[in-house]
Structure 1
Amino acid sequence: MLSSLQKANLYLSYFAFSKVPLLWLCRPKILRVNEHMVEMKIPLKRRTKNHLNSMYMGAMVMGADVAGGFMAAMKARAQGREISLAFKGITAEFLMRPESDVHFICSDGPLIDEMLKQTLTSGERVNKEVQITAICPTLHGDKPMAKFSVTLSLKAK
């Protein structure tokens, strides 16, 4: 029997391979997931690094996208509901060069619960900002490499 973490990673791999092949090439992996937060990793490899041997900005944005979007998709799926999920905006602050694997953490589970409740009861699109922090724990512990604020947009189908 597969654990919930293994199921999450299979779902992410399937989604990336079939819907967003560029994401699949980055090999994201869910490390921790619960009702409050998700932590996922993008490894620093040839496909994700830039000419300075740090993570390419585009790979960083993909990590923020997955961390914010995966939680919403997971929560809707757990309720047996289908949603339309999109991002309407992003603000990023790059603080340090991430020179190892990057972990993306979104702790906005309660906010996403509220968004899902609103769209499922009203049928209207709900837009709110979720926060994602990128860290390189092997080099810098919990010190942020980047901070993202993404406008998550949810609508019940």
Structure 2
Amino acid sequence: MVITASKLNRFLFFKLPSAYICGVRVKSIDNEKCVVMVKHRWINQNPFNSMYFAVQAMAAEMTTGALVMDKITKSGKKISMLVANNKSSFSKKATGRITFVCQDGHLIDDAIQKTIANGEGQTFWMKSIGTNEEGIQVSEMDFEWSIRLK
């Protein structure tokens, strides 16, 4: 199965409805990069008139998780995935349309090869950067993914 932006958005609707309702949408995905957008609106705001941190985290996690799902699918093996840790920093109020980009697709291949070769679980960190419409960074989130053979 080829993973596309439209299939991921359908996945959001059925499996992660809170992210879908808050406006998280995958715009593009390829072998190395995933782009997700979310617009600040009433449903995803905090009391300080900006986007709630958890909505930003959902969008950021989607950029990394979609790449992991894509690589696992392409491997043809049954591999489980789980977020083991995350770190985040916020540098500016998130208002308007926020774009999250992860360009760490290359980190996944090595971990999948190692877990298939030796049967042991692997962990790796992936970064997603959120920018506003002016291109100014509003947040940076790192997710530690753990994968292992089922």
Match of 1:25 in 2: 21
SS of residue matched to 1:91: strand
Measure the CA separation in 1 of the matches of 2:11 and 2:120.
25
State how 1:1-157 maps to structure 2 within 5 Å. Answer: 8-136=4-132, 138=133, 140-141=134-135, 143-157=136-150
Q: Within 1, Cα distance between the matches of 2:34 and 2:81?
A: 17
Which structure 2 residue ranges, 5 or more long, are not aligned?
none
Contact 2:33 2:103 in 1 (8 A): yes
Partners of 2:35 and 2:13 in 1: CA distance: 20
| SS of 1:52 mapped into structure 2 | coil
Distance 2:22 2:81 in 1: 21
Q: CA RMSD in A?
A: 1.7
- TM-fit CA distance, 1:55: 0.9
Query: How far apart are the structure 1 equivalents of 2:111 and 2:39?
Result: 31
Q: CA deviation at 1:108?
A: 0.7
Query: How many aligned residue pairs are there?
Result: 149
CA shift, 1:26, in A, is 2.2
SS in 1 for 2:46: coil
Q: In the TM superposition, what whole-angstrom CA distance separates every residue of 1:73-102 from its partner, at most 9, and x where no partner exists?
A: 011112333321111111111000111111
**1:55–1:154: structure 2 CA closer, same or farther, 3 Å change rule?**
same
Q: CA deviation at 1:132?
A: 1.0
